[in-house]
Amino acid sequence: MPCYICTACGVQYAETQRPPERCAICEDERQYVTWEGQAWTTLDDLRRDHRTVAKEEDPGLTGIGIEPAFAIGQRALLVQTSAGNVLWDCIPLLDEHAVSAVRARGGLSAIAISHPHFYASMVEWSRALGGVPVYVHAADRRWVMRSDPAIVFWEGETHRVLDGLTLVHCGGHFEGSAVLHWAAGAGGRGALLSGDTLQVVFDRRHVSFMYSYPNLIPLGAPAVRRIVDAVTPLPFDRIHGGWFRRAIAADAKTAVARSAARYVHAIGASEE
């Protein structure tokens, strides 16, 4: 039986004979059902008219995306370290080109996911690359639409995936939203892989914080402060967002503080 993929959010569901009646992730107020109604595809169908692309984004960091764009349009990031490689976030499509790109860079030790909108085909990716663990924060357990023994529900505020790669619980966009801190990133100055927990905006000098991006529901000031407090102790000079070329190249910690102050002021909240 196929594992159907929602065409709006790109999340793959468990095996069923027929497409599910609804996508719980898209019916949540942070996402949306398309104007044409709920629609589904499968990996086989997706492979017919889409392909994966791999692009070097930084030394030791490769973006893996889909062309033409599909669903939310995010790309994953493959982080290469001496301790092993981690895939940060996931995409709906998996093909031979993607598997070859990962293997050519040393294979995969683990997958780590920022939040449910980027679960995509995480189980397929794990199985194709050795059954590696997939780290998902336990607060978002109910949003996992395809269970698998490879999924590891971590708890608490931080979790070490490998030496030099640490998951940091931020909350905000989802209760379990997280970022990945890469200690050796940015030439040893440290980097954050942020998904859209801290959304790198188009000027690439700021980040923003939202409960829902497509439906324009802002986060309140306490949630923004919690995100900032979670990442401020970390050494980082660069932020890599959830889409190709969405990065703050330098002085990213200052950019986060500046962005949070601007955001809190814009929503009319006290900065105290």
The answer as to whether 272 is a domain residue is no
Q: Are 97 and 183 in contact (CB under 8 A)?
A: no
Q: Which residue range forms the structural domain that includes residue 180?
A: 3-266
For 76-117, the pLDDT digits (tens) are 999 999 999 999 999 999 999 999 999 999 999 999 999 999
pLDDT band at 22 (very low <50, low <70, confident <90, very high): very high
Mean predicted confidence (pLDDT) in 197-203: 97
Which uninterrupted H or E stretch holds 10?
none
Is residue 49 classed as helix, strand or coil in its secondary structure?
A: helix
pLDDT of 271 > 60? The answer is no
The angle, 0 to 180 degrees and rounded to 10, between the axes of the packed helices 252-266 and 221-231 is: 170
CB atoms within 10 A of CB 98: 24
For 142-177, the pLDDT digits (tens) are 999 999 999 999 999 999 999 999 999 999 999 999
CB atoms within 10 A of CB 69: 13
Alpha helix positions (H), 10-60? 24-27, 43-49
Pairing of strands 110-112, 134-137: parallel
- What was the pLDDT predicted at 158? 98
For 174-192, the pLDDT digits (tens) are 999 999 999 999 999 999 9
Pair of tokens at residue 192: 């954050």
The answer as to whether 128 is a domain residue is yes
- What was the pLDDT predicted at 165? 98
Q: What is the DSSP string of 135-201?
A: EEEGGGGGG-SS--TTEEEE-SSEEEEETTEEEEE--SSSTT-EEEEETTHHHHT-EEEEETTTEE-
CA distance 133 to 194: 20
- Contacts (Cβ under 8 Å, ≥6 apart) of 252: 191, 192, 236, 237, 238, 239
Residue 31: closest CA among 180, 146, 145, 200:
145
The answer as to whether 185 is a domain residue is yes
| Residue at token pair 């598997």 | 99
- The more confidently predicted of residues 272 and 6 is 6
pTM across the whole model:
0.97
Pairing of strands 158-162, 165-169: antiparallel
CATH number at residue 115: 3.60.15.10
Looking at the structure of the chain, the number of domains it has is 1
The answer as to whether 271 is a domain residue is no
pLDDT of 272 > 60? The answer is no
**What is the DSSP-derived secondary structure letter of residue 267?**
T
pLDDT > 90: percent of the chain: 98
Length of the chain: 272
The answer as to whether 156 is a domain residue is yes
Residues forming beta bridges with residue 210, ordered by sequence position: 218
CA distance 232 to 71: 32
For 57-73, the pLDDT digits (tens) are 999 999 999 999 999 99
pLDDT band at 269 (very low <50, low <70, confident <90, very high): confident
| Residue at token pair 């996992």 | 144
CA dihedral defined by 130, 122, 77, 134, rounded to 10 degrees?
A: -60
Mean predicted confidence (pLDDT) in 239-247: 97
The answer as to whether 76 is a domain residue is yes
